Structure 1
Amino acid sequence: MNKRIIQVGLGAMGRYWAQVVRQHPTWEPVAYVDIDQNNLVQAAHEVGMDENFCFSDLDEALTKVEADALLDITPPDAHEKVSTTALKAGLHVLVEKPLADSLAAARRVIQVANENHKIFMVNQDYRFRPVPRTLCKLLNQGTIGKVGFVDVEFYKGPRFPGNFRESMDFPLLTDMCIHHFDLMRYLLQTDAKSIYVKSFQPSWSWFRGDSSVAMIIEMQNGTVITYGGSWVTKGNETPWCGNWRIEGEKGGLYWYDEKAYRSGQEAPLDSDELVQMSRTGIEYALDEFYQAIVENREPETSGRDNIKSLAMVFAAVDSAKSGRKVQLRSYLPE
């Protein structure tokens, strides 16, 4: 049986989500909410939503429309208000990363979800793809033995004219790196212990805040991760997921240009060697959200788990500001 969902946030990313939700077999979009009337009109036209079910106020939508869940695609500073309003109204919530704009806000939203016995899931769709699922499986099987170190490269040059990202103090760290932090935790099946960040601003950057970083991260199982990244590259770009080199005592696993490799093999893994997935990315996230509701279980990227990825973001920012290595103990929930 399909579940009814209200979507809040219909900017460029929100309209992409709206298209995916409309085509998804288990979700029925029943209302759109956005404070920008132009976004609402454009989304209604592109996706086919009746304008009578387009609202500029969430409370009005909750009063006039029956729904099972809410999809929050608003900017990070609106996540707490939107998510808690929906949870208190009895709706399950799927929120786009990051969970919230502060750890305190994240903890409050998780508490509201717990108090109201509702599913609260954060979208971390980079892990919902065949290559990372396959690498995680191979690592769990001990294919390369104990992992010693990992190297991650991420280089992109996106433009966000007029977008909130261009005015952030640390746009790469606060908006993008959580994808890679979450992948680190997922692939290695452990949490971060410490992080050291050197953030900087190339002279040609079009962002107000630091757009490039070099990091050293130590995980709780002893694995050391080096990370180099920039959002203002003028050279060759990596995929959004980055390029990964995972070194173990028996060999290596590599994730380059969206393909998986084993050490000693020039060709990537064949498609039949990868974990088979009927849906990937945000389509899979919608699947997981739906199944968690139906089965009354915690989703893979629940708020309770995802706050550990979010903690890495704020620890990284503090390290960038102080120039010192930061321990994650004080950031992680007890």
Structure 2
Amino acid sequence: MVTAIQIGLGHWGFNWTQEVIPNVPSIEMLGYVDANPAALKRAQDELGIAEELCFTDLERAAKAVDADLAICTLRTEAHYPVVKRCLQLGLNVLVEKPFASTIAQAKELVQLAKDHGRVLMVSQNYRFQPAPIAVAELIGAQRFGSVNLVSIDFRRHAPSQGYRYWDMPDPLLADMSIHHFDLMRMVLGDEPKRVSCRTWNPEASPFGHDPIGVATIEFEHGTMVSYRGSWMSSGPATPWAGEWTMDCSEGEIFWASRDNLMGKTGPDRLVVRPRGGEAQPVELTPSPFTDRLGTLAAISKVIETGSTPARFSSGHDNLHSLALVQATIASAAQEGEWVDIAEIMASA
């Protein structure tokens, strides 16, 4: 059993408290922290959390309880200082993405976790779905040879889907595309080399910053990725992980994942087509812990066993996903000029 405290019970944090944490049996909650007493009172009233488990100060909570893990579900700008203090207090940390605002901050947190012998995990929850796991295994086994070209489409119409963050900088690249960029790295088992990106904001958009973008991403082993994402699409909505077509030397792989919208859910999909053959649906293996439950169950197991599984989204691993996000933003600011990932990583 892993003992934990949660820090941040705002809109998204409350959802973690209500829907995620109670459904991972290996987690025992010892405390909840939020600087806003109203957030704590809501958790007490609506979720039945005992008042003695609630704290308005991280330092007091850490002294009052003997926890193994801090579950950090705060707003993005608070990630760096809170995660840093948690690591200094000797806690392992699971934090929402992006785990820092800059590469320099992210590198500092990774080094701090290493220095203190603690686990730092970023909740890249899209990794914990049946389709991307199966695809990563197919690619790793070279089932259809090398991957030449990947095409990814993400389409959603934010104004009609309850989107809330109209003034967020880079609402596509930083808030949404980071999931897709992280999945690229996971399923390809490769790292991005350079990127060219353009973004824009259409007329009548409620967004303060660009909600649409296209990017070309070159990976170290030669795979080229064509990425198209839109928060203002009037076309058929894709699953949250997008729709992927992977053109390989010996066949084609199509998959889509995390298909839920407005109260409706559907299964992950995976179809393979050997070169010259017929399309074949692949039956996917279900997991007892998917999505955010998967991230929480994964770090719990690492803390309990000391063994890190394949495709674990550690802070060190996630540096590369964060760098890809920042490279696409930098390229868009330069009207699509190519930006090398190594330059972004070294800029810190």
Pairwise TM-score range, normalised by the shorter structure: over 0.9
DSSP-derived class of the 1:277 partner: coil
1:157 and 2:157 correspond: yes
1:217-251 superposed Cα distances (whole Å, 9 cap, x missing partner): 00111000001101122332111110000000111
Distance 2:35 2:231 in 1: 29
Contact 2:23 2:293 in 1 (8 A): no
Q: 2:324 aligns with which of 302, 306, 312?
A: 312
Amino acid at match of 1:12: H
State the match for 1:280 in structure 2. Answer: 290
Shift of 1:267: 5.7
State the match for 1:330 in structure 2. Answer: 343
Shift of 1:158: 3.0
DSSP-derived class of the 1:167 partner: coil
State the match for 1:18 in structure 2. Answer: 17
Contact 2:193 2:341 in 1 (8 A): yes
**154-163 or 17-26: which moved more?**
154-163
Shift of 1:204: 2.4
Contact 2:145 2:249 in 1 (8 A): yes
Contact 1:151 1:226 in 2 (8 A): yes
Amino acid at match of 2:157: G
**25-34 or 291-300: which moved more?**
291-300
Amino acid at match of 1:16: N
Shift of 1:168: 2.2
1:47-98 superposed Cα distances (whole Å, 9 cap, x missing partner): 3211222222212221222211100111111111111111111110000111
Compute the TM-score of the two structures, normalised by the length of structure 2: 0.90
**For residues 202 and 162 of structure 1, do their structure 2 counterparts lie closer, same or farther at Cα, with a shift above 3 Å needed?**
closer
Contact 2:2 2:303 in 1 (8 A): no
**For residues 180 and 11 of structure 1, do their structure 2 counterparts lie closer, same or farther at Cα, with a shift above 3 Å needed?**
same
Q: 1:293 aligns with which of 292, 303, 306?
A: 303
Amino acid at match of 2:298: E
The percentage of aligned residue pairs carrying the same residue is 34
Contact 1:31 1:49 in 2 (8 A): no
State the match for 1:135 in structure 2. Answer: 135
Distance 2:51 2:208 in 1: 37
1:256-303 superposed Cα distances (whole Å, 9 cap, x missing partner): 463100125456322xxx234222111121121011112224461110
Specify every segment of 5 or more residues in structure 2 that has no aligned partner in the other structure, as ranges. 260-267
Compute the TM-score of the two structures, normalised by the length of structure 1: 0.93
Shift of 1:111: 1.5
Pairing of 1:10-89 with structure 2 (within 5 A): 10-19=9-18, 20-89=20-89
State the match for 1:166 in structure 2. Answer: 166
**For residues 234 and 162 of structure 1, do their structure 2 counterparts lie closer, same or farther at Cα, with a shift above 3 Å needed?**
closer
Amino acid at match of 2:134: T
Amino acid at match of 1:280: T
**217-226 or 169-178: which moved more?**
169-178
Contact 1:144 1:247 in 2 (8 A): no
Contact 2:96 2:122 in 1 (8 A): yes
State the match for 1:5 in structure 2. Answer: 4
DSSP-derived class of the 2:245 partner: strand
Distance 1:48 1:232 in 2: 39
